[in-house]
Structure 1
């Protein structure tokens, strides 16, 4: 597809709202409408060569899903379809939510699990994000001194959300569009 696919998992709806903000900033011409992973099959995601994937943080760095206490299917259940998935040639940017004050010891750690899964299935991951401006003790999602994707703390730093999304999209947007519009 010649658009960026946006997919998310959510428990309370906040990740969905961030996915919708990202879509609105990119526009319908560049990005498909965001879709909850509990409503799709793997083939629907594989149609896209450029993807933005979002996750809430759940448990102690767990991938969100029923075994982590989610009430509805989430990333865990979607990823169960991945036995023979191939994301080679796909470019993926990640975003994750977390609460740095409430969960300072595991802030946004679920983002690392998503990173590991998609990287393990051959995706090129883009869009690492600086840890500056956040206050936390530990995050598994920090690799080489940066988050593996955009991190949003809507609870205590909601005032920075739009600015962070804009800055991140300025970074990842051209990389994703390059892949989305590349001839197949």
Structure 2
């Protein structure tokens, strides 16, 4: 059976930890082991019918990478592999980490970068999330009044992380599973 691919960009390991928790919530039978994007190839991503992609936000609202002092590289180094890729028919859910108190003027902006990129390559983006309960000034990741994916502030709202993840996974799981099952059906 096909599975749901989970890929993340991280430096400190928090985005990885969130990916592992999401995989556990989904279940080992349908979620692949989360993989750091700095160890992935474009073929890895394209092999899954459904993806959960995670990132933190660095610097002035950027994706992580060598330019933002992420030791082993991350999304910024992976992006060139995506040139010309077609994600039509793929279902993608996004999660983004940030600190809404310290960086409230660009909270979770990195998630928007992934949203824009994968939507532009034809992916169906699912999993928008309410802005209720967050205290930030501005976020590019808010489109039509909702986050484009699950926004997590594990630093200042850590007590809310588990519940938010559980609710978000319950929200996106049916669409992810449907994408996996559709790929598994004989043509």
TM-score by structure 1 length?
A: 0.97
Write the deviation string for residues 121-178 of structure 1: whole angstroms up to 9, x where unpaired.
1100000000000001011110000000001100011111110011101110000100
Deviation at 1:2, TM superposition (A): 1.5
Write the mapping of 1:101-112 to structure 2, written as runs, cut at 5 A. Answer: 101-112=101-112
Superposition RMSD on alpha carbons, in Å?
Answer: 1.0
- 2:161 paired with 1:155: no
Runs ≥4 residues deviating over 6 A: none
Query: Whole-Å Cα distance in 1 between the matches of residues 56 and 172 of structure 2?
Result: 20
Say whether the 8 Å CA contact 1:11–1:70 is kept in structure 2.
Answer: yes
| Gapped regions of structure 2 (runs ≥ 5) | none
Query: Whole-Å Cα distance in 2 between the matches of residues 103 and 65 of structure 1?
Result: 18
1:20 match: secondary structure: helix
Q: What is aligned with 2:99? A: 99
Matched residue count: 184
Query: Whole-Å Cα distance in 2 between the matches of residues 105 and 11 of structure 1?
Result: 22
Write the deviation string for residues 24-78 of structure 1: whole angstroms up to 9, x where unpaired.
1111101001000100111011000100000011112212111233222100111
Deviation at 1:118, TM superposition (A): 0.5
* Structure with a larger share of its residues in helix: 2
Q: What is aligned with 2:68? A: 68
TM-score by structure 2 length?
A: 0.95
Write the mapping of 1:48-59 to structure 2, written as runs, cut at 5 A. Answer: 48-59=48-59
Q: What is aligned with 1:114? A: 114
